[in-house]
Amino acid sequence: MPRPPFPRNLREFQRQFATEEACQQYLAACRWPDGFRCPRCVYGRAYALVTHRRWECASCGHQVSLTAGTILHNTKTPLTQWFWATYLMTTDKRGISALLVQRQLGLRRYETAWMMLHKLRRAMVNTAREPLYGDVEMDDTWVGGPQPGLRGSRQLKGRKAAMVLVAVEKRGEVSGRIRMAVIPDIKQTTVLAFVRQHIAPGSTIYSDGLKGFDGVRVAGVRHVGRTQPVRTALRRGVPSVVPLADRAIGNLQQWLIGTYHGVSKAQLQIYLDEFVFRHNRRRQPMAAFQTLLGLGTGRPPTPYRRIRGAQDLAPAP
Ligand SMILES: [Zn+2]
C-alpha cells in the first residue's frame, strides 16, 4: 500500500481527500507503510469497517482503530473536515482563525472549528526536539505594542508587553530553523537556560552584545557579541549585526498583528510555537500535516501485549 503523494494545492487536496473512506485509507497507509499486518496474528489482509474507523483482520477478526494514538481519536467530526482544517493550518502562512475555518468548511457550529484549531495548536507545542546548531543569531524583542509612561526600553515593572527571545540558524544568507520563547527578563541565567534547551554545544551564537549573553559559554557554545548600530542608522540602511533574527522578529510581529489582532501575554507562547512550527516546516508540508494529526512516522509504538511476549523481536513471516 504505497503512501499517496502529498497534494500540492488546495484543489488537489480536496480531490484526494474528498470522502471519509479516502481519509481512512490515508490513515491506514501511514499506520502500515509496508501493508497491513494484524497485531494479534500477523495476518496480512483486513476488511475496512468504515463507519467504525477500524480495520478488521480477515483471519482472526481482531479490530484495529485507525485513529488510535492520533488527535482524531474519538472525534465525531468527519475526517474530511479534520484533514481540511489541518491542511489549512499547515500551509497557510498567515495562519487561520476559527471563524475562517468555520466559513471555509461550512460548519454549522463555531465551536467545532474552534475545538479543531485548539487541538491542532496544542499538537504544535513541543514538536521541536532537535536543538539548533552551527551559526545561530539571537535577539530579544517586545511583543505587545507601545505603552505610554515607560522609562527606557528595558523596563520590566508594570510592562504589559511580553519579552521574547529569538534564535535563528544561519545558513549562509538565509535562515534555517528557529526557536522563540517568552522570557521573564534578559538576565544571564534566563538566556543560559534558553541556550541549554535550544542550542547544541559547539554552536556559535551571534548577538548584539547585550550583557545577558555573557554567560552562554557555560553551555559549550561560542559567543560573538557585536554592537548593533543605533536605530536611525539601521533605518538608513546600515546592516544589522543579526539580520536573520531581525527578519524573523519582523515576520512574527506582522503575523501577530495580521492574524490575531493582539494576543494576551498568557497565550503568547502557544502562538510562538505555532509560528515556529510553520516556519521550520515551510518546505515539508506533508511532514507538518502528519505531525499535527499525530500520524507519527508510520511506525506506532509496539503494543504492550507484543512487547511482553517479545513478539516484536520475532522475524516477520
Ligand atoms: Zn489477526
What DSSP line would sit under 253-315, residue for residue?
HHHIIIIISS--TTTHHHHHHHHHHHHHTTT-HHHHHHHHHT-TTS-PPPPHHHHHTTGGGSP
Average pLDDT taken over every residue of the chain: 84
CA-based nearest residue to 221, from 167, 158, 141, 291: 167
- Per residue in 292-308, pLDDT (tens digit) is 888 864 444 434 334 33
DSSP 165: E
Please state the rounded mean pLDDT for residues 115-121: 88
pTM as predicted: 0.78
By DSSP bridging, strand 46-49 and strand 54-57 are: antiparallel
> Please, are residues 182 and 269 in contact by the beta-carbon 8 Å criterion?
yes
Instruction: Work out the number of other CB atoms within 10 angstroms of the CB of residue 159.
Output: 14
Q: Which residue has the higher pLDDT, 95 or 131?
A: 131
Ligand 1 center to residue 58 CA distance, Å? 7
Residue 46 CA to ligand 1 center (angstroms) comes to 8
* CA–centroid distance, residue 45 to ligand 1 (Å): 8
Q: Which residue has the higher pLDDT, 46 or 104?
A: 46
Give the pLDDT confidence score for residue 150 in this predicted structure. Answer: 56
pLDDT digits (tens, 9 = 90+) for 230-244: 888 888 888 889 999
Q: What is the pLDDT at residue 282?
A: 84
| Of 215-219, 224-228, 269-273, 302-306, the least confident | 302-306
Percent of the chain predicted with pLDDT > 70: 83
Residue 151: per-residue pLDDT = 55
Is pLDDT above 50 for 162?
A: yes
In our burial notation (b when 16+ CB lie closer than 10 A, e otherwise), range 160-198 reads ebbbbbbbbbbeeeebbbbbbbbbeebebebbbebbeeb
| Region 54-81 average pLDDT | 93
**pLDDT on residue 158:** 64
Q: Which range scores top for mean pLDDT: 146-155, 219-228, 265-274, 295-304? A: 219-228
Q: Given this model, what pLDDT does residue 260 score? A: 58
Q: What is residue 227's predicted lDDT score, i.e. its pLDDT?
A: 86
State the Cα–Cα distance between residues 235 and 218, nearest whole angstrom: 35
The CA 291 to ligand 1 mean position distance, Å, reads 28
- Categorize the per-residue pLDDT at 210 as very low, low, confident or very high, splitting at 50, 70 and 90: confident
Distance 60 CA to ligand 1 centre (A): 4
Distance 39 CA to ligand 1 centre (A): 7
Q: Is the pLDDT confidence value at 311 over 50?
A: no
**pLDDT at residue 109 greater than cutoff 60:** yes
